[in-house]
Amino acid sequence: MKKRFWENKQLSDFSRKEWELLCDGCGKCCLNKFQKTKKSPPVFTNVACRFLNIQKCKCKVYDERKNKKSDCLILSPKNIDQLVNWLPTSCSYRLIFEKKELPFWHHLNNNKNKNVHNTKNSVKNFAISEEYVDSTDMSNHMAKKINNT
């Protein structure tokens, strides 16, 4: 694989492996979010999908997530333009889509996969599983800071 492949390539030209490598493993996309109005930006909560392993920030059912959770938004090069506003501003996919640099802590910049956690840019030790939250109580779980980079 070409070094720094994301810098001179369109997202639509990424191989499956390159697409998956771009993910920083923060888990923020797995947080429940809601919109106050159709035009307002999404409001993130600290409540994660029940399938997210919060300590590892990995989906427990990644390959079958759409079958397990019908409202799971599966991001791809073909639909990123429609879903980009649902991603946190620190998301690697969003940054590349918006033609911005990856953050210094991203594993593609420094070969350290745990930097996303060490720099507190993941949901590790922050999120709680939706298994423990009543859906009517979601407004009490609005996150104050999600989009840090």
Q: Tens digits of per-residue pLDDT, 96-107?
A: 999 999 999 999
In a domain, 90, yes or no: yes
Confidence band, pLDDT 50/70/90 cuts, at residue 37:
confident
Q: What is the pLDDT of residue 13?
A: 93
Q: Is residue 100 part of a domain?
A: yes
Looking up tokens 């073909």, which residue turns up?
78
Q: What is the pLDDT of residue 147?
A: 56
* Percent share of the chain, pLDDT over 90: 64
- Please give the order of strands across the beta sheet that includes 31-34: 31-34, 43-48, 128-129
- Segment 33-38 shows an average pLDDT of 85
Mean pLDDT of the region 110-133? 89
Q: Residue 6 domain-assigned?
A: no
Domains of the chain: total: 1
Largest CA distance in the chain: 48
At 75, is the pLDDT very low, low, confident or very high (cuts 50, 70, 90)? very high
**113 in a domain, yes or no?**
yes
Q: Which domain holds residue 135?
A: 12-141
In a domain, 57, yes or no: yes
d(CA 138, CA 149): 25
Q: Is residue 3 part of a domain?
A: no
